């Protein structure tokens, strides 16, 4: 199973604009549970701006579709001056064991 994790940073003076953009993005890209399920969203202020961290659990075989969808939605935020974001993929700890030549424990 793949997880998509997005970190975005918006200048403090653009936080309201980012919130309005989020409403616009969610209308254009409503949740599609056949592709992925959002498992968390967290936001905090920092000296770098408002930081948002979100994660999605991607359905088996839907990795490409989920990444395309995420990139398209995040490009809408790029219209906001000073917006920065990164999109990362992660494996579960059990899946990642194979990357280092180990077999995960049995259930």
Structural domains of the chain in order of their starting residue, each with its CATH number? 2-100 (3.30.70.1150)
Per-residue pLDDT tens for 38-70? 999 999 999 999 999 999 999 999 999 999 999
Contact by Cβ (8 Å): 75, 29: no
Helices (H) and strands (E) in the chain, counts: 3, 4
**pTM listed for this prediction:** 0.86
**39 secondary structure, DSSP code:** E
Nearest to 51 by CA among 20, 2, 93, 85: 85
The dihedrals phi and psi of 21, each to the nearest 5 degrees, come to -65, -40
For residues 66 and 5, what is the distance between their CA atoms, to the nearest angstrom? 11
Residue 98: pLDDT above 70?
Answer: yes
107 pLDDT tier (thresholds 50, 70, 90): low
């Amino acid at each position: 199973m793949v997880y998509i994790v997005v970190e975005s940073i918006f200048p403090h003076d653009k936080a309201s604009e980012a919130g309005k953009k989020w409403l616009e993005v969610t209308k254009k890209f409503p949740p599609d549970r056949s592709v992925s399920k959002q498992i968390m969203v967290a936001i905090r202020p920092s000296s770098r701006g408002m930081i948002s961290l979100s994660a999605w659990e991607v359905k088996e075989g839907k990795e490409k579709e989920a990444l395309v969808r995420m990139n398209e939605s995040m490009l809408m935020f790029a219209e906001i001056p000073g917006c920065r974001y990164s999109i990362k993929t992660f494996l579960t700890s059990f899946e990642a064991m194979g990357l280092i030549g180990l077999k995960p424990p049995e259930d």
